[in-house]
Amino acid sequence: MQELETIETAINPTTTTPETAIAIKNVSVSFKTKKGVFNALNNISLDIKRGEIVTLIGHSGCGKSTLMNTVSGMVAPTSGTVTANDKIVKGPGPDRGIVFQNYSLLPWLSVFQNIYEAVDSVMKDKTAAQKREIVNKNLDMVNLMSHKNKLPGQLSGGMKQRVAIARAFAISPSILLLDEPFGALDALTKSDMQIELLKLWNLANRDKTIVMVTHDVEEAIFLSDRVVVMNNGPAATIKKIVDINLPRPRNKKDISHDPEYMKIHDELLTLLFHKFSIND
């Protein structure tokens, strides 16, 4: 935490110019299923600024992962466009790092190799030594140096997720996309990982844009600049965008007593809870 604070104060927020990192414009997504066409997203528009942390929140199956996957390029919109770093998204690219819900590490490769293969694939013009150095630097950042030769099967869930995050950071993307990254972790590990993520974001001069899918209200408030609350699918839309005007650095313990925090927490719960009462 000490490190976190010193880094944060060293940054002058006025130097960063707000520009659009991600522009989602009238995006609809529908899938063909055996029962017919399933409309997952309906005409969604959303702009995300460079260096912003935005979380997508909503109930299971509301299409929040689908929305994020249109940014990653893993899902193509049926209509509308997604622009990332001024380029229309046509597929996955090295400017967008992805952290998957279930870690998605290759079980036959060591921790080091898992990151190395991603770096090797993206940074083709670097020498092997340079690539190894990048991997080591990122392993060091997530404190996994001593586990670099282990196979993913020998790691705990939290460690696996740190590898996945290190892998996403290692290709130095300007946009990071995280799909419920801490969903499978216990509460304590989850808190550690949230702080770790912010630490990495700070180390990168708060330049990286982070989009994260979650269903955890506290996590969303603690991390984000804005929380995008989504309606339930099918044909999901954005219900409301809530600004989180809490000063950074944020302290997990202190923040929960902040009246602003409580107000936002209440608002988000009402937005989500309201949906519950309709359904049940």
Partner 1 sequence: MKKEKVLSFIYDTLFFVASMAILVALWELIAYVTKNEIPGPKPTLTVFKELMQEPFYDRGPNDKGIGNQLMSSLYRVFLGFGAGSLIAIPLGLLMGSSKLIMRLLNPIVQILRPVSPLAWFPLGLLAFHAAEGATIFIIIITSLWPTLINTAFGVSSIPQDHKNVGTAFGFSKWKYLTKILIPFSLPHIITGLRLSIGIAWMVIVAGEMLSGGVGIGFFVWDSWNGLSLEKILVAIIIIGLVGVILDKMFNALQNAFAWDK
Point out which residues bind partner 1 (CB under 8 A): 72, 74, 91-94, 98, 100, 102, 104-109, 117-118, 120-122, 151, 153, 167, 171
Contact 77, 29 (CB under 8 A): yes
Could you list the beta-strand ranges (E) of the chain: 20-33, 36-49, 53-57, 79-84, 87-88, 96-99, 175-179, 209-214, 226-230, 238-243
Which of 42/70 has CB closer to partner 1?
70
- For residue 248, the number of C-alpha atoms closer than 13 Å in the C-beta half-sphere is 23
CA-CA distance, 66 to 161, in Å (whole number)? 21
Taking the complex as a whole, the smallest distance from the CB of residue 173 to partner 1 amounts, in Å, to 10
Nearer to partner 1, 105 or 268 (CB): 105
- Please state the closest distance from residue 127 (CB atom) to partner 1, in A: 17
Q: How far is the CB of 236 from partner 1 (least distance, A)?
A: 22
The number of residues in the chain equals 280
Task: Please say which residue, 69 or 232, places its beta carbon nearer to partner 1.
Answer: 69
What does the radius of gyration of the chain's CA atoms come to, in whole angstroms?
Answer: 19
Spatial CA neighbour of 110 closest among 156, 189, 163, 185? 163
Q: What is the smallest separation between the CB atom of 189 and partner 1, expressed in angstroms?
A: 21
Q: Which is nearer to partner 1, 87 or 263 (CB)?
A: 87
